[in-house]
Amino acid sequence: MATKRAAAKRTPSRRTPVAHGLTETQRLRRIVQSFSKISVLVVADMIADEFVSGEIARVSREAPVLILRHRERTLVPGGGANAVMNLAALGVTALPVGLVGDDEAGRSLLQIFRRQKISVSGISRIKGYTTTTKTRVLAFSAHSSRQQVVRIDRECEALSDSHPALLELVNSAREYAPAADAVLLSDYGYGAVTPRIYNLIRARGVLGETPVTLDSRYRLLEYDGITAATPNEGEVEESLGVSIGDDRARLLEAGAELLRQMRLEALVITRGGDGMMTFERRETPVEIPIFGANQVVDVTGAGDTVIATYTAALAAGASNYEAAKLANYAGGLVVMKRGTATISQGELLAVLAD
């Protein structure tokens, strides 16, 4: 607990406005260079992404399936834990709060965080609790790249609202809050971050004017008091019960409606190969084209990279557009990497240098 208390007592840097009179690229570079001066509180569903790779040996006689000769197994932080890793890779001080089980996956996540100098005092380890683990089986041959053939999910049981671990989670977040320049909520639906938990964290004005960003898979409209959200197009369609497709007018209507219903200051809708669309109160929506090559290698965890970069930029004093632009660059870079990956501060600066 000593690490957490020290972080909470530290005088926060708070956001420093980026100097005017600079070109857009110069402003973006200044924002990225200031990432090492900021801290972000991340309340998240901690997920382990496991990748099991095997070389195709033959077709089984037992069933029409491939037999793979095992070659490699890796486990990396996924979901909200991946957002934490992306913040750390960008040079941000990440303050994660969440739950893991007292199992191999949970222990591995904590070890990875420790190796990256990320505080783990805000993460509760629960005996008998299953750390959510997504196992992707990848097949390859001597003349082909690795392709995912199946995914197996091991999911935790939902904790009751009165479970002591949830109270500890709320207290951890409230202790970290004074040190945070922004708060990132990564809700994958596994119970560590919910509208109720968020309301308990922010009770009595604990968060003050600190910007809060949200990435919620299933319940966007249930949150209140959020600064900005970064849903993908499918999540927007599901939340509002609409179909957008290639209809730009419907996209604009949906964005304006979500902005209104959630009472957001800003909204970024990610659209895969079609880039992003940003919305702000009393501002004209802005379209940001996709960055990078059209041939995507792997989209696993790209949304975590986007919200991590976007949140870091807001914490550093960026405008909504500037934050979205940087998130678009980061997202374009990360989908060119295999598996659950991160983007470093150096990679983002190299893109801006070009």
Lowest pLDDT segment from 153-162, 190-199, 230-239, 246-255: 153-162
Measure the CA–CA gap between 307 and 313, rounded to whole angstroms. Answer: 10
The beta strand positions in the chain, using DSSP E, are 39-44, 46-59, 66-79, 93-101, 123-126, 133-141, 144-154, 182-187, 212-216, 228-229, 266-270, 276-280, 286-288
303-320 pLDDT, tens per residue? 899 999 999 999 999 999
Does 1 or 278 have the greater pLDDT score? 278
Q: Residue 305 in contact with residue 90, Cβ under 8 Å?
A: no
Q: Residue 74 in contact with residue 51, Cβ under 8 Å?
A: yes
DSSP 104-129: HHHHHHHHHHHHTT---TTEEEETTP
- For the annotated catalytic residues, the residue numbers are 304
Is residue 6 over pLDDT 70? no
Measure the CA–CA gap between 2 and 253, rounded to whole angstroms. Answer: 48
47-60 pLDDT, tens per residue? 999 999 999 999 99
Measure the CA–CA gap between 80 and 127, rounded to whole angstroms. Answer: 21
215-228 pLDDT, tens per residue? 999 999 999 999 99
| Mean pLDDT of all residues in 180-206 | 95
The residue among 10, 42, 16, 45 whose CA lies nearest residue 313 is 16
Measure the CA–CA gap between 346 and 354, rounded to whole angstroms. Answer: 13
Q: Does the domain at residues 2-14+22-47+80-131+157-353 carry the CATH identifier 3.40.50.300? A: no
Non-local (6+) Cβ contacts of 66 within 8 A are: 56, 57, 58, 59, 60, 139, 149
At residue 166 the predicted structure's pLDDT band, cuts being 50, 70 and 90, is very high
Is residue 268 over pLDDT 50? yes
Is residue 202 over pLDDT 90? yes
The CA distances from residue 10 to 117, 165, 181, 233, in Å, are 17, 25, 12, 39
Q: What's 1's DSSP letter?
A: -
Read off the amino acid at residue 82.
N
What are the strands of the beta sheet with 144-154, ordered from one edge?
Answer: 66-79, 46-59, 133-141, 144-154
Is the whole-model pTM more than 0.85?
yes
Lowest pLDDT segment from 12-26, 116-130, 298-312: 12-26
The three-state secondary structure class of 262 is helix
Measure the CA–CA gap between 310 and 229, rounded to whole angstroms. Answer: 10
Q: Residue 172 in contact with residue 120, Cβ under 8 Å?
A: no
Tokens standing for 353? 């240098």
270: left (phi over 0), alpha (psi -120 to 50) or beta: beta
Does 272 or 136 have the greater pLDDT score? 136
The three-state secondary structure class of 216 is strand
Measure the CA–CA gap between 150 and 66, rounded to whole angstroms. Answer: 11
Q: What's 297's DSSP letter?
A: S
